[in-house]
Amino acid sequence: MQKIAGATMSCETDTIETIRNSDQRMTPQRLLLLSAIRHSGEHVTINQIHDQVKQAYPFINVSTIYRNVSILKELRLISETYKTDGEILYEWIGGHAHLHMMCRNCNEMIEIDDKYLDSLKQDIKKDFGFNIDIDHLAISGLCDQCKKLEQVGYDD
């Protein structure tokens, strides 16, 4: 586990506190699942999470993974992204807003700075008087490369 000036311990403590404050228990399985998602450094599937957790806890059932992922989504600790091919990916967000653009052709995923999400929230508040709660947003479209291929009549 990488530690940067004590930040890792603080993040772990905050996460455990968030879970306990929601009247959930911090079980060994839940701690392993959190670690698998949080330290993967990428978007992961349920099967990837399960494979990672099984290395330390071989008898864990995939239904336990699904149940815990659902709880972590409700607590806004992880996000769920549906790819255009139907695959579902999970990513650690730790209660912070998160924005992606996803190419509907090649499935390239680009993370975007939260400042764009802040601008969207402000515009909606100003125009509609509505305060939106967006923890995660995935915007579908075409990346530059796929758009160029589309314009010249090629399709991958």
User: Can you tell me the distance from the alpha carbon of 94 to that of 108, in angstroms, rounded to the nearest whole number?
Assistant: 23
Is-contact 41 98, C-beta < 8 A? no
Higher-confidence residue of 69 and 21: namely 69
Pair of tokens at residue 14: 């905050």
Q: Which CATH number fits domain 1-95: 3.40.50.150, 1.10.10.10, 1.10.1060.10, 3.60.20.10?
A: 1.10.10.10
Q: Greater confidence, 15 or 80?
A: 80
Q: Which residues pair with 137 in a beta bridge?
A: 99
Q: Which residue has the tokens 């603080």?
A: 10
- Residue scoring higher pLDDT (21 or 53): 53
Phi, psi (degrees; rounded to nearest 5) at 35? -65, -40
Give me the pLDDT at residue 9, please. Answer: 43
What does the pLDDT read at residue 79? 85
CATH 3.30.1490.190 in the chain: give the residue spans.
97-156
Angle at CA of residue 146, ends 143 and 151, nearest 5°? 120
Per the DSSP assignment, residues forming a β-bridge with 95 are: none
**Fold classification of 97-156 (topology level):** Dna Ligase; domain 1 (3.30.1490)
Average the pLDDT over each of 16-30, 41-55, 62-76, 132-146 and give the range with the smallest value.
16-30
User: How far is it, in rounded angstroms, from Cα 68 to Cα 52?
Assistant: 15
Number of residues that make up the chain:
156
pTM of the model: 0.65
pLDDT at 12: 67
